[in-house]
Amino acid sequence: MRRFTSFNLVALVFGFAFLYLPILILIIYSFNASRIVTVWGGFSTRWYVELMHNESILDAAWVTLRVGLLSATIATFLGTLAALALVRGGRFWGRTLFSGMVFAPLVMPEVITGLSLLLLFVAINFDRGFWTVTIAHITFSMCFVAVVVQSRLLSFDRSLEEAALDLGATPVKTFFAVTLPLIAPAVVAGWMLAFSLSLDDLVIASFTTGPGATTLPMKIYSQVRRGVTPEINAVCTILVALVTMGVLTASIIGKARAPARAP
Amino acid sequence: MHALRSFLARRVVIAIPYLWLAVFFLAPFLIVLKISFSATAIAMPPYTPVFDGLATLWERVQDLSFDNYVWLTEDALYIKAYLSSVKIALISTVITLFIGYPLALAMARAPDRIRPILLMAIILPFWTSFLIRVYAWIGILKPEGLLNQLLLSLGLIDQPLTIINTDWAVYIGIVYSYLPFMVLPLYATLEKMDYRLIEAANDLGATPFGAFWKITVPLSVPGILAGSLLVFIPAVGEFVIPDLLGGSDTLMIGRTLWVEFFYNRDWPVASAVAIVLLLLLVVPIVIFQKMQQRASS
């Protein structure tokens, strides 16, 4: 029998207060009527209205969304293939190098990933902008997708695939009829992870971007360096709300699916 | 026919991600390595090529220059930056452990029904933007920020504390940003723990703290190590947190590299800084891998 003591309760309350209070304060102050960030001047939504008229922030948001959707989709495709290669690929030439390349970006400092990709784009004379940021995001987020999908591939029952093969399905058909539906939750989770990594990235985008491709984190960063502004509070609140809704939706969908899955 | 098709399919499955990573991960890395051995020149791109042209191997080897690396050891700034990155990452990791451990323990001991909710609540901040979470602390830690207002109104201090732009703000930023990374592996090991061991210790007359110190802590060592490495490794190369919360005297290597590249435009030195930083991180990563292998066997 586990005992939940009052000390445990205190730890929980303090721990979660520490995690959530800063974000909560940010949200509250985004509705502050006063321009001075630290003075409460009554409730108002004026910063959200101003935000809707701020072309440069809206542009940056649009760029970020396009980069995120495109890079997450391609990264999910590549990462799933990489996971399949690692788990089902058998022995192939340069396997160690391949798995090294899949896992290295997970622990590479972002500054190094960004710097090395920029030097590549300069070396091959590739115009920097939307596409270079997208390629950079695909490259580092596909590795996260690969790890998520790989753990799912390792954990499910291979006899289902063998049954399909015994019943005369081709390996390719087996993949689409049996394997893919089984790893689908991991693929979806991988896509979400890749998308949120792309939305969140400042360092790699700063290195690999060019004129006309300023992402939202870069915009926020350049504003923040000049000081805290209520508009940025409003941007951050919207982002937090979107992410929270996304994560909650995903978990509810996951729960709804859970009974349908075989134990 | 089928056999041929599936053979080809397997080849394609492996080849696509392999090629992508070779072009966009391995090649860039080799370019960084190459540039770190080239001499600085005021040109665009700001480096003189080393391996271009059809020089013989011997000539190439002669052309290699360790100047950038020598430069790193001669200028005290870089050594200071490396050391201070490791120091800041270490201190932050220890603080994260002290905050994360009681939290993970409480989550593991919580009633079964609310545990998934608590887990969700730990993961949620991790999904919200890193930049936003760091930014939130600026408003709290500023001299006229919320923390100082609170402490002043409570009469605990009579002068605003200077926290922002000091190393303390960087510790707070790192601890806050990486806390979920510490809590999750700790929670995983603590939740699996056999609680009967604690009961046995209590039956044999151990105090609650004695049982915790002699049983819970030793059994959770794998979680402690995994969590600490997950915080320490990214913290060493951290750029955003020291840049936004730290002061001008907060030296961290990620930021040094950024400045070297964007402001001084010295690509070879920036590349050398990157290579040395990677070498620095190889050690804890190898330890981590060894641990993972041990855990899986």
Contact across the interface for A139 and B254, Cβ inside 8 Å: no
Interior/surface letters A99-134, b for 16+ CB within 10 angstroms, e for the rest: bebbbbbebbbbbbbbbbbbbbbbeeeeebebbbbb
Answer whether residue A208 shows pLDDT above 50.
yes
Q: With beta carbons less than 8 A apart as the criterion, state whether B179 and A19 touch.
A: yes
pLDDT of residue B53: 45
Q: With beta carbons less than 8 A apart as the criterion, state whether A172 and B9 touch.
A: yes
Chain B CB contacts of A37 under 8 Å are 139
Determine the residue of chain B that is closest to A7 in CA distance.
B106
| pLDDT band at residue B195 under the 50/70/90 scheme | confident
pLDDT of residue B182: 96
Contact across the interface for A89 and B10, Cβ inside 8 Å: yes
Contact across the interface for B14 and A89, Cβ inside 8 Å: yes
Regarding predicted confidence, which is higher, B63 or B274?
B274
- A183, exposed or middle or buried, with CB in 10 Å at 0-12, 13-18, 19+? buried
d(Cα A24, Cα A26) in Å, to the nearest integer?
A: 5
- A18, exposed or middle or buried, with CB in 10 Å at 0-12, 13-18, 19+? middle
* CA A236 to each of CA A224, A232, B178: distance values in angstroms, whole numbers, following the listed order: 12, 6, 19
pLDDT digits (tens, 9 = 90+) for B235-264: 999 999 999 999 888 899 999 999 888 888
pLDDT digits (tens, 9 = 90+) for A60-84: 999 999 999 999 999 999 999 999 9
User: B25: closest CA among A54, A138, A44?
Assistant: A138
Regarding predicted confidence, which is higher, B43 or B142?
B142
Q: Which two tokens stand for residue B108?
A: 């593991």
The minimum CA-CA distance between B154 and chain A, rounded to whole Å, is 17
Q: With beta carbons less than 8 A apart as the criterion, state whether B284 and B229 touch.
A: yes
Q: With beta carbons less than 8 A apart as the criterion, state whether B11 and A96 touch.
A: no
Best probe of the A interface among B29, B101, B258, B266, by most A CBs < 10 A, is B29
SS3 B52: coil
Question: Quick one: CA torsion of A115, A120, A124, A130, rounded to 10 degrees?
Answer: -60
Bridge partners (DSSP) of residue B195 are none
pLDDT of residue B126: 80
Answer whether residue B46 shows pLDDT above 60.
no
pLDDT digits (tens, 9 = 90+) for A213-255: 999 999 999 988 877 778 888 988 988 888 888 878 877 776 6
Q: With beta carbons less than 8 A apart as the criterion, state whether B167 and B238 touch.
A: no
**Interface size, chain A vs chain B, as Cβ–Cβ contacts under 8 Å:** 240
pLDDT of residue A145: 95
Contact across the interface for B45 and A122, Cβ inside 8 Å: yes
Q: With beta carbons less than 8 A apart as the criterion, state whether A115 and A128 touch.
A: no
B40 residue type, one letter: T
Candidate from B26, B118, B132 with C-beta closest to A101: B26
Candidate from A85, A94, A116 with C-beta closest to B28: A116
Q: With beta carbons less than 8 A apart as the criterion, state whether B23 and A101 touch.
A: no
Contact across the interface for B195 and A116, Cβ inside 8 Å: no
d(Cα A96, Cα A104) in Å, to the nearest integer?
A: 12
Q: With beta carbons less than 8 A apart as the criterion, state whether B291 and B226 touch.
A: yes
Q: With beta carbons less than 8 A apart as the criterion, state whether A235 and A216 touch.
A: yes
pLDDT of residue B59: 53
Mean pLDDT, residues B51-63 taken together: 50
Question: What sign has the CA pseudo-torsion B254, B277, A199, A192?
Answer: negative
Contact across the interface for B28 and A120, Cβ inside 8 Å: yes
Matching residue, tokens 């689908």 = A184
What is the residue-averaged pLDDT of chain A?
88
Chain B CB contacts of A87 under 8 Å are none
Question: A127-141, B113-127, B178-192: which has the minimum mean pLDDT?
Answer: B113-127
pLDDT digits (tens, 9 = 90+) for A4-33: 888 899 999 999 999 999 999 889 988 988
Chain B CB contacts of A125 under 8 Å are none
Best probe of the A interface among B132, B192, B291, by most A CBs < 10 A, is B132
| pLDDT band at residue B97 under the 50/70/90 scheme | very high
The minimum CA-CA distance between A56 and chain B, rounded to whole Å, is 18
pLDDT of residue A58: 92
Answer whether residue B52 shows pLDDT above 90.
no
Determine the residue of chain A that is closest to B199 in CA distance.
A1
Contact across the interface for A220 and B109, Cβ inside 8 Å: no
Chain A CB contacts of B99 under 8 Å are 15, 18
DSSP letter at A32?
A: B
User: A81: closest CA among B11, B23, B3?
Assistant: B11
Rounded (to 5) percent helix, strand, coil in chain A: 75, 0, 20
| pLDDT band at residue B42 under the 50/70/90 scheme | very low
Q: What are phi and psi of A2, to 5 degrees?
A: -75, 140
Mean pLDDT, residues B99-119 taken together: 92
Determine the residue of chain B that is closest to A218 in CA distance.
B131
Q: With beta carbons less than 8 A apart as the criterion, state whether A218 and A209 touch.
A: yes
**pTM of the predicted model as reported, rounded to 2 decimal places:** 0.89
Q: With beta carbons less than 8 A apart as the criterion, state whether B125 and B177 touch.
A: no
User: B173: closest CA among B120, B220, B224, B135?
Assistant: B135
Contact across the interface for A116 and B18, Cβ inside 8 Å: no
The minimum CA-CA distance between A29 and chain B, rounded to whole Å, is 10
Answer whether residue A193 shows pLDDT above 70.
yes
Contact across the interface for A82 and B28, Cβ inside 8 Å: no
pLDDT digits (tens, 9 = 90+) for A151-181: 989 887 888 888 998 998 888 888 889 999 9
Contacts of A202 (CB under 8 A, 6+ apart): A215, A217, A218, A221, B130, B131, B240
Contact across the interface for B32 and A115, Cβ inside 8 Å: yes
